[in-house]
């Protein structure tokens, strides 16, 4: 089984535009069985809109909610915490995605804690965009997206499962150290390419990460569709880095997929 642990839907006006039917076609062409699908203000699509769109395909597509500091500010009330709790409890969302570099906050900021405690309660992961920011999304600040800042959160909340997106590239050595140091931190290999994947380009980034992280055992397969091409991503990763925990079992464990 192959599980893509990092895909997006989007709407016109956002950084990305993608539909569930297009994602499924891409998955079929790539031989991908299941995918985690992210909501996000960056792509102009809410958690509810993602869940509505993937509803007919729940045997293959699993929603990941998004909590955005914008435009409502950091003063989230109990109603928002209750909404996230209900979605996690029902299994409607399998985790939460956060976008620090695009929304100017650090992973350990206190305003996040009520949401992160919900993830601990239901044993689901927090995914943080890390590293490079998408060129179509202006105004991003890299200082918030550096993987080293996840260490504070991982240390302060050791029961929270955390995924560093994109191997933290181009800060992959820092990301590898955070993964190595903290047993509750993983990383996905998504979004290293705009378009088709190349082994020559991926190898150096991958090797730097695993040299510090101590191996591949805590990496999840992810493509970052529709930014990256799923078919070539699968071909490169399966041929050169093929391990069961990478392609499926880590995602099954963290997101509760069977």
pLDDT band (50, 70, 90) for residue 72: low
Buried/exposed 58-70: b ≥16 CB within 10 Å, e otherwise: eebbbbbbbbbbe
Examine the pLDDT at 245 and tell me if it is beyond 70. yes
Q: How do residues 85-128 score in pLDDT, each as one tens digit?
A: 999 999 999 999 999 988 889 999 998 999 999 999 999 999 99
pTM beyond 0.85: the answer is yes
CA 87 to chain centre: 18
Cβ count near 96 (within 10 Å): 25
Question: Exposed, middle or buried by CB within 10 Å (0-12, 13-18, 19+), for 150?
Answer: buried
pLDDT, mean of residues 34-51: 92
Number of separate domains in the chain: 1
Q: How do residues 122-147 score in pLDDT, each as one tens digit?
A: 999 999 999 887 656 667 788 999 99
Q: Which domain does 246 fall in, by range? A: 3-255
Structure tokens at 124: 């689901």
13: left (phi over 0), alpha (psi -120 to 50) or beta: left
What's the half-sphere exposure (Cβ side, CA atoms, 13 Å) at 251? 26
Query: Mean pLDDT, the chain, as a whole number?
Result: 91
Examine the pLDDT at 74 and tell me if it is beyond 60. no
pLDDT band (50, 70, 90) for residue 158: very high
- pLDDT computed for residue 152 by the predictor: 97
- pLDDT computed for residue 73 by the predictor: 55
3-state SS string over the chain?
CCEEEEEECECCCCCCCECHHHHHHHHHHHCCCEEEEECEHHHCECHHHHHHHHHHHCCCEEEEEECCCCCCCCCCCHHHHHHHHHHHHCCCEEEEEECHHHHCCCCCCHHHHHHHHHHHHHCCCEEECCCCCCCCCCCCCHHHCCHHHHHHHHHHCCCCCEEEHHHHCCCHHHHHHHHHHCCCEEEECCCCCCECCCHHHHHHHHHHHHHHHCCCCCEECCCCECCECHHHHHHHHHHHCCCHHHHHHHHHHHHCCC
Examine the pLDDT at 75 and tell me if it is beyond 90. no
- pLDDT computed for residue 140 by the predictor: 79
In the chain, what percentage of residues exceed pLDDT 70?
A: 94
- Of 197 and 246, the structure prediction assigns the larger pLDDT to 246
Structure tokens at 22: 């297009």
Distance CA 154, CA 109 (A): 12
- pLDDT computed for residue 42 by the predictor: 80
- Of 119 and 69, the structure prediction assigns the larger pLDDT to 119
pLDDT, mean of residues 42-62: 94
Question: Exposed, middle or buried by CB within 10 Å (0-12, 13-18, 19+), for 230?
Answer: buried
Examine the pLDDT at 20 and tell me if it is beyond 80. yes
Does residue 170 have a cis peptide bond before it, meaning omega lies within 30 degrees of 0?
Answer: yes
- pLDDT computed for residue 229 by the predictor: 94
Structure tokens at 191: 């979004």
Examine the pLDDT at 69 and tell me if it is beyond 80. no
Q: How do residues 187-213 score in pLDDT, each as one tens digit?
A: 999 988 887 878 887 888 999 999 999
pLDDT, mean of residues 166-176: 95
- pLDDT computed for residue 135 by the predictor: 58
Residue 42, domain CATH: 3.20.20.140
Lowest-confidence region among 67-71, 157-161, 206-210: 67-71
């Amino acid at each position: 089984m192959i599980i893509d642990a990092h895909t997006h839907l989007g709407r016109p006006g956002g950084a990305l535009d993608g539909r569930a039917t297009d994602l499924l076609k891409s998955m079929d062409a790539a031989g991908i069985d299941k995918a985690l699908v992210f909501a996000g203000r960056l792509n102009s699509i809410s958690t509810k809109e993602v869940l509505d769109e993937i509803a007919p395909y729940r045997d293959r597509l699993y929603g990941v909610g998004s909590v955005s500091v914008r435009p409502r500010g950091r003063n989230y009330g109990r109603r928002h915490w209750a909404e996230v709790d209900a979605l996690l409890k029902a299994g409607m969302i399998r985790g939460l995605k956060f976008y620090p570099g695009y929304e100017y906050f650090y992973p350990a900021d206190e305003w996040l804690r009520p949401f992160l405690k919900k993830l601990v309660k239901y044993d689901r992961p927090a995914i943080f965009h890390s590293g490079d920011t998408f060129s179509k999304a202006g105004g991003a600040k890299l200082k918030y997206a550096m993987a080293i800042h996840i260490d504070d959160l991982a240390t302060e909340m050791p029961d929270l499962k955390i995924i560093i997106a994109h191997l933290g590239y181009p800060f992959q050595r820092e990301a590898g150290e955070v993964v190595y140091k903290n047993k509750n931190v993983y990383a996905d290999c998504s979004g290293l390419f705009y378009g088709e994947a190349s082994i020559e380009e991926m190898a150096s980034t991958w090797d730097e990460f695993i040299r510090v992280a101590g191996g591949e055992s805590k990496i999840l397969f992810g493509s970052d569709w529709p930014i990256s091409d799923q078919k070539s991503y699968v071909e490169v990763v399966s041929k050169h880095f093929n391990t069961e925990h990478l392609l499926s079992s880590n995602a099954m464990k963290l997101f509760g997929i069977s």
